[in-house]
């Protein structure tokens, strides 16, 4: 819940928004938000939460001129979304993450310090 939002903010706001800012804040907000939404799409469904979040993060960065502001908003937003899931879905999500990190085999050995 921390690394993903921080990395995304560094890339989408720190790098892309900064690049697009030369054409004005509205252009930078729209383009960085569209690029932020693309990897979050699932089929033909537009991820409204990420669309609104992308706009909010970009505007916060524009207003505050401090990358820590959208990072904090993004982390808190993810925390709120993750904690709003019913308990049985949290367990499923944690199990999926755990199995992806610790159960994949590389050259016949487990990685990331998994205990055999």
Whether the Cβ atoms of residue 8 and residue 36 lie closer than 8 Å to each other: yes
Q: Of residues 23 and 44, which shows the higher confidence score? A: 23
Mean pLDDT for 13-40 is: 96
Q: Residue 57: pLDDT above 60? A: yes
Indicate if 16 and 34 belong to the same structural domain: yes
Question: Same domain for 20 and 70?
Answer: yes
What range does the domain containing 66 cover? 3-84
Mean pLDDT calculated for residue range 11-24 = 96
Burial of 64 (0-12, 13-18, 19+ CB in 10 A): exposed
pLDDT of 112 higher than 60 = no
pLDDT of residue 103: 47
Asked if 71 and 97 sit in the same domain, the reply is: no
In this prediction, residue 97 carries a pLDDT of 44
**Model-level pTM?**
0.69
DSSP category for residue 39: G
43 SS3 class:
coil
Same domain, 8 and 43: yes
Percent of the chain residues past pLDDT 90, beyond the cut: 53
**25 & 74 share domain:** yes
């Amino acid at each position: 819940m921390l690394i993903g939002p921080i990395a995304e903010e560094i890339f989408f706001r720190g790098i892309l928004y900064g690049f697009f800012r030369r054409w004005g804040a509205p252009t930078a907000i729209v383009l960085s938000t569209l690029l932020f939404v693309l990897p979050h799409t699932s089929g033909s469904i537009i991820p409204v939460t990420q669309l609104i979040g992308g706009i909010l993060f970009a505007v916060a960065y524009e207003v505050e001129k401090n990358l820590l502001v959208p990072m904090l908003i993004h982390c808190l937003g993810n925390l709120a979304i993750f904690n709003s899931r019913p308990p049985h879905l949290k367990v499923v999500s944690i199990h999926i993450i755990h199995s992806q990190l610790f159960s994949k085999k590389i050259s016949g050995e487990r990685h990331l310090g998994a205990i055999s």
